[in-house]
A and B are shown apart, each in its own frame.
Chain A
């Protein structure tokens, strides 16, 4: 079952930073937060994950609050190719991903 809450949709201007929020207030101390995205007609793509420290990779940054009840995925310079549905997931069981409905990000030219 869903353990995260995300806005249904967001817009972002091309070249600007896209900040996608996620609430996971019931997260346990040893549970990770994962972010995936799904571009139209493709399978989901892994972006980043973290436990309690902020993380950065070539795709994005993940900022996790100190109480771990929420996080923000940051795409520093959004492009049109970043238009996708973004899923914030706290895996359950043996890496069971419940995708929910995610946030539909539209990057506007």
Chain B
């Protein structure tokens, strides 16, 4: 089966610019997650969707980050405006149900200049 697809693989922007990341989960997976991984640290959950509804966004900096999963399949994560501390790898994961193992994409590496 095809894995979780993410794009772009790399992105470089200047601070205060906007950026968007795209994720296509494994087919049939109802639960989708976005994580932020800062260099040298483990991934940190930003937001969790169940179909097209938000289950947990308690760690999402809502003043600048937004995410959507309009049709319950693909998802986008946006940062507007970006700050230097947003430099990180943004990982998308999906699972069949909330209680099943999560499968990760290889992430988007974001660099802020």
Contacts known (A94-B98, A95-B99); A87 close to B42, Cβ less than 8 A: yes
Nearest residue in B to A91 (C-beta to C-beta)? B99
Closest CB of chain B to A36's CB: distance in Å? 8
Would A99 and B43 count as touching, CB distance under 8 A?
Answer: yes
What 1/0 flags go to A83-109 for Cβ under 8 Å of B? Answer: 001010000011111111110000000
In the assembled complex, the Cα of A59 lies from the Cα of B104 at a distance in Å of: 17
Q: Please count how many residues in chain B sit with their CB below 8 Å of the partner chain's CB atoms.
A: 24
Nearest residue (CB) in B for A96 is B45
Task: Report whether A43 and B106 are in contact in the complex, using a CB–CB cutoff of 8 Å.
Answer: yes
State which of A15-23, A44-52, A73-81 sits at the interface with chain B.
Answer: A44-52
Q: How far is A28 from B100 in the complex, measured between Cα atoms in Å?
A: 18
Q: Report whether A94 and B48 are in contact in the complex, using a CB–CB cutoff of 8 Å.
A: yes
Contact A44 B91 (CB under 8 A): yes
Contact B56 A43 (CB under 8 A): no
- CA A90 – CA B41 in complex, angstroms? 18
- Rounded to whole Å, the gap between the CB of A68 and the closest CB of chain B is 18
Q: Which residues on B sit within 8 Å (CB–CB) of A49?
A: 101
| A97, B104: Cβ atoms closer than 8 Å | no
Q: How many Å lie between the Cα of A87 and that of B43 in the bound state?
A: 11
**A43 and B42 contact, CB distance less than 8 A:** no
Cβ of B87 under 8 Å from chain A: no
Supply 14 A–B pairs (Cβ within 8 Å), ascending by A: A42-B106, A43-B4, A43-B93, A44-B43, A44-B91, A44-B104, A46-B101, A94-B50, A94-B55, A95-B31, A95-B95, A95-B100, A96-B48, A98-B42
